Amino acid sequence: MKKEKTTHTYNFIWGFGAELLLLLLGAVLSVSYGSKQIPLTEILSFVTGGDVDSFLGAVIAARIPRTVFGLLAGASLGISGALMQSITANPIADPSILGVNTGASLFVVIGIAYLGITSGIGLIGLAFIGAMLTAVFVYGIASVGYGGANSMKLALAGAAVSTALGALVNTIMLPDSHVMKEFRFWQVGSIGGGTWEDVRLLLPFFGVGIFLALCCGASLNVLSLGDEMAVALGVHVGLIRLVSAFAGVLLCASVTALAGPIGFVGLMMPHLVRQLFTGDMRIVLPMSALGGAALLTLSDVAGRVLGRPGELEVGIITAILGAPIFVWIVWKSKVKSI
């Protein structure tokens, strides 16, 4: 028992160190790479207040908020995916797989096209309502019939709802050239337009979401033993599920409102953390946050490098990375078809 505990501690330490290193690497590369490559010495000089060429200084100043926004967005998606996988006991749960991102997108587009809402806080509110309603709707559909809401039924219901809502988004966007132009790249998922204003808007929602998630970590561990056991151990099952779902939807909805529907980050990182390190949610949540931040930032850098002289939106890169991992998770889980 003591040896097993020591092994888990060792795995956590090196895993945490590896993720932190990747996060720092992603942050540095995000500021350095793009249409104009900037030497590390110039970045250090800018950060420490030294003399920097005015043009390079302007480029660095524009890339730093994009990098910070990408880190916050990736961490939010990582935690959101971990919460959704935990409360649904579904290894393939993710805001994009369950259609939550598309529901948020639909309400944002409706707000822009018909309600004239353009403020960031207004769009986040709409995205949250759309994401929450979609999550409830998908879970309700999957719960119908024999066996309840199992992994395969949730994935099928999420895919069906996401397709239908995506069609509605296109129906609203296509007749309105202004809306279509404004959200053409947003719909793919991009952090390229991230500014300090976006960071300030996202930060409070990120803070509330991660606080609630961490508070629920220990209870989610007990919940994994089954509802009856959790109740016997004094856990308020309904309350924990409600708070966890609220936190997960809040995190993914706020990111979707500001950056568009970025998929697969919340699927990949929590699953990899559990496979490589531990299933303890008190560890899965912070490590999913670190890993999600590193993954999204490095994906954004890859999009800039591969798309030169322009760039590929980060949503495209995460989809390319996430699709084969999704197939591998489904195959590994050996989920029986209904």
Sorted by where each begins, the domain ranges of the chain are 2-333
Say if residue 32's pLDDT is above 80.
yes
- Which pLDDT tens digit goes with each residue over 183-196? 666 677 888 888 99
Q: What pLDDT does 112 receive?
A: 83
Q: Which band of pLDDT confidence, cut at 50, 70 and 90, is reported for residue 119?
A: confident
Q: What pLDDT does 217 receive?
A: 92
Q: Which band of pLDDT confidence, cut at 50, 70 and 90, is reported for residue 2?
A: low
- Which pLDDT tens digit goes with each residue over 127-136? 999 999 998 8
Half-sphere exposure of 35 (CA within 13 A, CB side): 8
Count Cβ neighbours within 10 Å for each residue of 177-197 and write b for 16 or more, e otherwise: eebbeebeebbbbbbbebeee
Backbone conformation region of residue 235, classed left if phi is above 0, alpha if psi is from -120 to 50, else beta:
beta
Say if residue 336's pLDDT is above 50.
no
Say if residue 338's pLDDT is above 50.
no
CATH topology of domain 2-333: ABC transporter involved in vitamin B12 uptake, BtuC (1.10.3470)
Q: Which band of pLDDT confidence, cut at 50, 70 and 90, is reported for residue 337?
A: very low
Q: What pLDDT does 3 receive?
A: 56
Q: What pLDDT does 147 receive?
A: 63
Q: How far from 250 is each of 65, 202, 244, 246, 285, CA to CA, in Å?
A: 22, 10, 10, 6, 15
Q: Can you tell me the mean pLDDT for 94-118?
A: 86
